[in-house]
Each structure stands twice: as C-alpha cells, then as structure tokens.
Amino acid sequence: MNNNPDAARFAGKSILITGAASGIGQRLAERFTACGARVAIVDIDGEGARRIADSLPGAIALTADLSQPEATRQVVHDVVDALGGIDVLVNNAATCADSPFEELSDLEWERDLAVDLSAPFRLTQECVPALSQRGGVVLNIVSVNALQYYGNESYSAAKAALISLTRSLAVRLGPRGIRVTAIAPGTIVTPIWDERLALDPGVLDKAQRWYPLGRLGTPDDVANASLFLCSADASWITGTTLVVDGGLTAGNAVMAQEIVPAQ
Ligand SMILES: NC(=O)c1ccc[n+]([C@@H]2O[C@H](COP(=O)([O-])OP(=O)(O)OC[C@H]3O[C@@H](n4cnc5c(N)ncnc54)[C@H](O)[C@@H]3O)[C@@H](O)[C@H]2O)c1
C-alpha cells in the first residue's frame, strides 16, 4: 500500500521541468513523480539529467542548452513525442552572472537574459498547443531579486521581466484554459551557492540573519508551493507570483533593530 496521500495528485500528468538535474528542479522532479506524474528532465548537464531520470519511475532526460533558440524549441517537440503531451511546464533553469555591474560583459548580460527570460518565452510559446488541449499550467521560478535589489543586475532584470511575462500570458492564455503563475524564492540552499560558499564559507550564515523565520529555504519549500500552484487546488489562480521567502521581503528587521530604539 502507498502511504503517500499525494500519490495520485498528478497521476497521468506529463511535466517538463527545466534545470532539473540539480537543486530545486531536481526536488520538483522527485516530488511530482511521487505524486504520480511522468517528468521530463531538461538540462544542459546531460549526465546529471540522466542520473536523476534513472532514479525516477517513468522519467526521461533530455540534454539542451536553453540559451540556444532552436534547441530550446525542439526540446518541447521531443517531450511531446516521448510523453504524448505536456500538462505542466516548469521554467526553472537559470544562470546568474556574478560580475560586478561595472564589469558585466555583453556576453554575461545576454546569457542571463537568454536562459532566464527568452527560454521561458520560447518554451511557453512552443508548449501552447499541447497545454491548451489539457488545461495546462506554466510555472515560472523567478526570485526575490525580481522584487528588490540584491545585486546580479542581469539575473534580476531577467527575473523581473519574467514576472511581467507571467502576468501577460495569464491574461492572453486564460481563455485557452492555460494558467500561468510564478514563484519568487528567497535564499534556497542548493548547489547554485557552491561558488559563493567556496569564496566565503560563512555566506549562508550571513544570509540567514535577514530572514524573519530564522532559517534559509529548502528545495522542498519551493516544491510545496509548486505542487499547490500546479494542482487543481489552484484552478482559479493565474497571473500570481507567490513569494516563498521566509518573510525576507515583508520588511527589514535587521535595519529596524539597528535604528529603532528598544526593538
Ligand atoms: N537557490 C536559490 O537561492 C534561489 C533563489 C531564488 C531563485 N532561485 C531560482 O531557482 C531556480 C533553480 O535554482 P537552483 O538553486 O536549483 O540552481 P542549480 O544551480 O542547483 O540548478 C540550476 C540548473 O539549471 C541548469 N542550467 C543552467 N544553465 C542552463 C542552460 N543554459 N540550459 C539548460 N539548463 C541549464 C543547471 O545545469 C542546473 O542543473 C532558478 O531559476 C533560480 O534562479 C534560486
């Protein structure tokens, strides 16, 4: 007997998740699979994608560099051929250039815009015929960087534009039965932090003190919100960006403690 109460929540659904060879995307693939879905793991890291797919019943892996327009569009057709359709598209893959603004190159700027904004545009456009046959859902993983300044100008601009695209496409595709939503996570402990940890092993401890709920996020925090937004429980929710950030953007407790007496 299966003890998972969610075991049939996405039964019979096909879900394309980009960037699912690591971090949040990997956890999404695991959680959607545990809810009965078949997932297509799309990633530039083909070996990682294959490893995750091999560990999940019914999953398939596809290698694609989502900065490349043709390969990005082709992947949708490959997934439809392999899984017979797409019910949910999760635009999760991202790049984030860490150069200071004064040194940010055209190449870095364009790469972040290509992977973080243009790929979701291309994938969604290509998925519309499949999604509109099945009351489909598009979920865009954005970031608190889209809402406030945290550095990383190219990444932040791309994520902010992706929130705009989320709202536009919710309106445009609503009449076709397609919902489009976004999740804006705060700091989530995943391999995306590895480079910064190598430079400063204390970086995540420093980040934690800014969070009212007293801890950083986990991939499961994002997965819980994602399962809700992609499920029938959210069938009247579209165009929304759900902030999943432990209270980070609700206010500034550290500042308040420093400048308001007796806090
Ligand atoms: N981790 C955080 O603190 C955090 C915070 C806010 C938002 N997010 C967002 O969550 C999402 C997932 O981030 P994560 O922390 O799991 O990162 P991660 O680095 O663990 O995973 C990202 C995945 O995207 C893939 N990818 C990168 N470039 C690609 C390309 N050109 N084509 C195809 N795949 C590519 C990588 O190979 C990797 O598997 C991203 O959209 C990120 O912006 C993360």
Task: CATH number of the domain at 140, please.
Answer: 3.40.50.720
The answer to whether residue 159 sits within a structural domain is yes
Mean pLDDT in the chain? 96
Q: Catalytic annotation on 13?
A: no
Decide: 33 in ligand 1 pocket, CB within 6 A.
no
- pLDDT of residue 244 exceeding 70: yes
Q: Report how far ligand 1's centroid is from the alpha carbon of 95 (Å).
A: 6
Classify residue 168: in a domain, yes or no. yes
213: buried, middle or exposed (CB in 10 Å: 19+, 13-18, 0-12)? middle
Domain count, the chain: 1
Q: Measuring CA to CA, how many Å separate 83 from each of 17, 78, 94, 201? A: 13, 9, 24, 42
pLDDT of res. 168: 98
The string of pLDDT tens digits covering residues 144-176 is: 999 999 999 999 999 999 999 999 999 999 999
Question: Does a structural domain hold residue 202?
Answer: no
Q: Using one digit for the tens of pLDDT, what is the confidence trace for 187-228?
A: 999 999 999 999 999 999 999 999 999 999 999 999 999 999
The answer to whether residue 60 sits within a structural domain is: yes
Q: Is residue 205 part of a domain?
A: no
Q: What string of DSSP letters covers the chain? A: ----TTTTTTTT-EEEEETTTSHHHHHHHHHHHHTT-EEEEEES-HHHHHHHHHTSTT-EEEE--TTSHHHHHHHHHHHHHHHS--SEEEE-------S-GGG--HHHHHHHHIIIIIHHHHHHHHHHHHHHHTT-EEEEE--GGGTS--S-HHHHHHHHHHHHHHHHHHHHHGGGT-EEEEEEE--B-SGGGHHHHHH-TTHHHHHHTT-TTSS-B-HHHHHHHHHHHHSGGGTT--S-EEEESTTGGG--HHHHHHHSTT-
How confident is the model over 49-76, as pLDDT tens digits?
Answer: 999 999 999 999 999 999 999 999 999 9
Domain-embedded: residue 263? no
Cβ–ligand 1 distance for 93 under 6 Å, the answer yes
Catalytic residue among 13, 149, 150, 155: 155
* CA separation for the pair 221, 5 (Å, rounded): 18
pLDDT at residue 5, as a whole number: 79
pLDDT mean over 106-115? 98
Domain enclosing residue 145, as ranges: 14-193+217-248
Expressed in angstroms and rounded, the spacing between residue 257 Cα and the centre of ligand 1 is 33
Is position 78 within any domain?
yes
Q: What is the mean pLDDT of residues 104-113?
A: 98
Whether 256 is covered by a domain: the verdict is: no
For residue 159, indicate whether it is catalytic.
Answer: yes
